[in-house]
């Protein structure tokens, strides 16, 4: 456990933005640069310390994941390709305010959001659709994807359908043309290293190249690339192709639900004009200063929370903290304020 001298000054949050040595992913280094000049978003170190203390005062909860039942790629050898397709399509599920969301029915239950996507792909496997086959994906027709993602009666189709069709075809084409149809070969080329695999996804698949620009410099968030690495390890139980090392080197997965919850906890603070924009459901363009600042703050809020927990004798990866926050964000709070609205394929 670190001593008191390691505790950051609570009145100087920017000074706490010290990227780890050997930041091969580059996300924390780049987002620290963003936040040092941020105008609309800040972090509250006292709130981070308070949350860390609250979490550290009780045992870390056992996983409450109910997702295992939704992850059904069929045969184990199909799991890597299934996971890659899952996370190629894993973005932007929210509907317009006051309107119904895309929902999927499977095995007598109704699902929305990410759960609906996992259920839809598992349902397709159950129906005998080879969603794991690279050749099949490369020539995927719109009507076929519409059937796979078919919503419940009276629910709308999933947002950004055309973009999802493009991304699914890209998965098939790149696997077919460069990797003998197997995502497992991408993993092998990355030598089962988490950071190398995330960077390979960014390099090989344009839909995973989640890199913003800030003052002329790239800012890699790589949300879906990183979550794909973590999902592959989790869904395979860390065995065989999922025996990926270095998960602790990944950052949080910068989406729209985490900053919503972190804002409620007082960890992320919006300037009044940004708060008004978010709370009025006004769209924030992808790559704009407000959006990049929000996502940068999300990565660093989780990183500083990870460090605060470590000072209290609890070691948890950013991915573990991300999952705990995401799980808590699925329960609506009475005082809940909106999440920021950005239409993008990256989260």
Question: What whole-number distance in Å separates Cα of residue 180 and Cα of residue 171?
Answer: 12
Helical pair 194-204 and 223-235, crossing angle rounded to 10 deg = 130
**CA of residue 81 relative to chain centroid, distance:** 18
Question: What whole-number distance in Å separates Cα of residue 289 and Cα of residue 90?
Answer: 23
For the stretch 94-100, contacts whose Cβ atoms lie closer than 8 Å and that sit 24 or more positions apart, written own/partner, are 94/159, 94/256, 94/339, 94/341, 95/156, 95/159, 97/281, 99/156, 100/154, 100/155, 100/156
CA-only gyration radius of the chain, Å? 20
The single residue of 72, 115, 167, 255 carrying the catalytic annotation is 255
For the stretch 275-280, contacts whose Cβ atoms lie closer than 8 Å and that sit 24 or more positions apart, written own/partner, are 277/340, 278/337, 278/338, 278/339, 278/340, 278/341, 279/337, 279/338
Using DSSP, state whether 66 is helix, strand or coil: coil
Q: Which residues pair with 245 in a beta bridge?
A: 193
Question: What whole-number distance in Å separates Cα of residue 156 and Cα of residue 104?
Answer: 10
**Parallel/antiparallel/unpaired status of strands 217-220 and 211-214:** antiparallel
> Residue 221 belongs to what H/E stretch?
none
255 catalytic residue (yes or no): yes
Task: Name the residues annotated as catalytic.
Answer: 255
């Amino acid at each position: 456990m670190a001593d008191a001298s390691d505790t950051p000054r609570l009145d100087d949050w920017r000074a706490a933005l010290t990227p780890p040595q050997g930041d091969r992913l580059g996300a924390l280094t780049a987002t620290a640069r963003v936040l040092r000049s941020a105008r609309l978003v800040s972090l509250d170190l006292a709130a981070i310390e308070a949350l860390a203390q609250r979490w550290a005062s009780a045992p870390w909860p056992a996983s409450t994941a109910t997702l295992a039942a939704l992850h059904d790629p069929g045969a184990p050898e199909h799991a890597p390709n299934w996971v890659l397709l899952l996370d190629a399509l894993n973005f932007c599920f929210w509907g317009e305010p006051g309107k119904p969301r895309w929902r999927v029915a499977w095995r007598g239950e109704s699902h929305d959001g990410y759960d609906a996507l996992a259920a839809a792909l598992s349902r397709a496997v159950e129906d005998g659709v080879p969603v794991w086959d690279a050749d099949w994906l490369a020539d995927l027709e719109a009507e076929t994807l519409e059937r796979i993602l078919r919503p419940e009666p009276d629910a709308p189709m999933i947002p950004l359908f055309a973009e999802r069709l493009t991304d699914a075809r890209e998965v098939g084409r790149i696997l077919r043309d460069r990797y003998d149809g197997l995502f497992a070969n991408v993993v092998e080329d990355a030598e089962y290293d988490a950071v190398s695999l995330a960077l390979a996804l960014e390099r090989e698949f344009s839909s995973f190249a989640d890199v913003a620009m800030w003052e002329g410099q790239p800012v890699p968030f790589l949300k879906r690339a990183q979550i794909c690495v973590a999902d592959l390890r989790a869904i395979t139980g860390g065995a065989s192709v999922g025996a990926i090392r270095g998960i602790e080197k990944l950052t949080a997965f910068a989406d729209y639900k985490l900053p919503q919850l972190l804002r409620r906890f007082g960890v992320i603070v919006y300037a009044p004009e940004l708060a008004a924009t978010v709370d009025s459901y006004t769209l924030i363009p992808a790559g704009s200063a407000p959006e990049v600042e929000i996502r940068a703050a999300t990565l660093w809020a989780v990183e500083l929370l990870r460090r605060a927990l470590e000072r209290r004798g609890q070691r948890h990866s950013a991915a573990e903290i991300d999952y705990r926050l995401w799980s808590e964000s699925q329960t609506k709070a009475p005082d809940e304020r909106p999440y920021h609205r950005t239409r993008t394929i990256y989260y």
